[in-house]
């Protein structure tokens, strides 16, 4: 991205890192709260202190948990001109039943605990699902996903894409074929990894440099 002329900002929000301690990393039951505020406060700091950052040409991108957070960001603020969500979570309710780690991970992270009753905490699953807030989206979104991603299954991407299309929002999707999974960006076929990176660069070039 820097070779294309972009400034890249890396954040270290609560929940997204265990570089401090377990308490810092533990956002169970509180996704989209303090972690989201950390990102926005960090961005504000960068804009205040680095005059080459254009606040009118901001993009946001993330994968996996970062994909969830990208979805959360664009459903809760319109300050970004473009966004890319990669292998993301958009709906915790269906994640519970479709992901290869859904029943225990979703209950642990969103519900009342690993062995709690899913239905008792359904309200929490809904409240923490970005897809419930898609009417707020004003940011053009590129969705990247792999067909054999069983961690964040493809249904997460197609639900988000369908909802945004249904509401007349600007969205595009790049889908990688069978054989690619949640680790595409790290261990995918070299030609697919190139296509993914090119799609990212092209989207931001199109939306942020116009």
What positions carry a catalytic annotation? 64, 182
E strands along the chain, which residues? 59-63, 82-86, 141-146, 171-176
Short-list 209, 210, 197, CA closest to 84: 197
In the block, which residue shows the tokens 């996704």?
31
In the block, which residue shows the tokens 């076929």?
189
Contact 24, 14 (CB under 8 A): yes
Short-list 4, 2, 6, CA closest to 54: 6
């Amino acid at each position: 991205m820097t070779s294309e002329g972009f400034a890249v900002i890396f954040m270290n929000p609560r929940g997204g890192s265990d570089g401090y301690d377990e308490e810092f990393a533990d956002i169970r039951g509180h996704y989209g709260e303090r972690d989201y505020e950390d990102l926005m406060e960090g961005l504000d700091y960068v804009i205040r202190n680095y005059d080459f950052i254009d606040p009118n040409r901001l993009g946001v991108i993330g994968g996996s948990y970062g994909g969830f957070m990208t979805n959360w960001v664009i459903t809760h603020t319109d300050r970004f001109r473009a966004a890319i969500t990669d292998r993301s979570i958009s709906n915790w309710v269906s994640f519970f039943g479709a992901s290869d780690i859904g029943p225990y991970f979703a209950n642990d992270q969103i519900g009342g605990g690993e062995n709690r009753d899913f239905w008792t905490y359904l309200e929490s699953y809904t409240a923490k699902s970005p897809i419930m807030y898609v009417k707020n989206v004003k940011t053009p979104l590129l969705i990247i996903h792999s067909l054999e991603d069983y961690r964040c299954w493809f249904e997460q991407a197609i639900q988000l894409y369908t909802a945004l299309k249904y509401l007349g929002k600007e969205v595009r999707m790049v889908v990688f074929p069978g054989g690619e999974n949640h680790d595409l960006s790290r261990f995918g076929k070299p030609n697919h990894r190139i296509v993914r990176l090119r799609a990212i660069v092209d989207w931001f070039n199109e939306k942020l440099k116009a």
